[in-house]
Amino acid sequence: MTLWNGSYPFYPAANACFPFDTTRTVIITVFLSMLATFIIILPGIRGRGRLFWFLRLVMGLFVGAVVLTIQFTRDWETGWVQANTSYKSFSRAVVNADIGLHIGLEGVNITLKGNPVNQINETINYNEHFSWSFDSNYDRSYNEGLEKGLPSPILYVAEKFTSQSPCAVHRQYRISGHYASAMLWLAFCTWLISILLFSMSILLHGGYMLLLTATLILFSLLFFLTVRNTSKCPIQFGPVSLKTDYGESFWLALVTGLLCLLLGLGVIILNSMEPEKLKLIFNLDKRKGAEEVWNKPCLLAESSCSMQDMLMVAQGELFEMTATQL
């Protein structure tokens, strides 16, 4: 039994696509708010230390925002294809649509958008997510999609990643995603520790933490690269095939890892070769001058030495005294 124009009654209306990723938006909003808050107090910093402080602030917040955001993005691996394909099962209707595959650390997103969007008296604009995280079951999500009667192109692509598929890529993607996510969470923790160490003026150990952050980010990329070396199952739509390549999150993670590597090496090298320049970058030159004044021994023979300066000398310090003959 069918309804109007041969459409079957168990097919739901097309899922509305939200215009942006809410998780990414929340994270970016939080970090931008922190940046705006710190910029407000920027005029209170005097001299050239203002520029160095602002650069450290921007780079620090950038690294933290990227490491946290790419945990939840779904574009580590992406691919698009435009094809003429059947729209629904038990129907001979053929539509022209853009089919997209977006692979993240926690699952896949499959999009279907018609060209034009309105075809065969329907709005063809789907965005379906199938998760393989610890608290979800990919096969169950796929079966729910079958029960809902999702369009055939979405089900065809989603079937390639099921655990029972002959492609046998479900386990590789799931394990590599879990390990990559664990490395990124550790990188976020080491980034927080590096920020704390730099704020406490423990520069050398802060540089070590930046190197560790870079290593963890690069290891997360290495875990994700392992699944790319496995044999790919063809996703064919007539004469064209859907092929994927590295997405924005992958390249952003690579840039962030290399940035942390350069910054960490820079701090360590400057600390061993040019410590004064490193202290100047972190606005520690004035503090050093104050410490030198505090630790400078006071000689009683000097006319510029006052009683207040004498009290600042340590008790074990030797004093030079001159005596005039009466």
Residues 106 and 180 in one domain: no
Whether residue 324 is contained in a domain is answered as no
Whether residue 145 is contained in a domain is answered as yes
Total structural domains in the chain?
Answer: 2
**The pLDDT of residue 213:** 96
Whether residue 2 is contained in a domain is answered as no
**The pLDDT of residue 209:** 95
- pTM reported for the whole predicted model: 0.77
**The pLDDT of residue 164:** 87
**The pLDDT of residue 197:** 92
Whether residue 239 is contained in a domain is answered as no
Residue-number span of the structural domain to which 146 is assigned? 77-167
**Per-residue pLDDT for the chain (326 aa), expressed as one digit of tens each?**
344 444 444 444 444 444 446 777 888 888 888 888 888 887 777 666 677 788 888 999 999 999 999 998 988 999 999 999 888 877 788 899 999 999 999 899 999 998 888 888 888 899 999 998 877 889 899 999 888 888 999 999 999 999 888 887 888 888 899 999 999 999 999 999 999 999 888 889 999 999 999 999 999 999 998 876 666 678 888 888 888 889 999 999 999 999 999 999 999 999 999 888 888 878 775 544 444 333 444 443 444 444 444 344 444 444 444 444 44
Residues 222 and 90 in one domain: no
Residues 68 and 175 in one domain: yes
CA distance 190 to 178: 19
Residues 175 and 120 in one domain: no
Residues 160 and 45 in one domain: no
Whether residue 9 is contained in a domain is answered as no
Residues 106 and 146 in one domain: yes
DSSP bridge pairs for 100: 80, 111
Whether residue 240 is contained in a domain is answered as no
Residues 136 and 201 in one domain: no
Whether residue 124 is contained in a domain is answered as yes
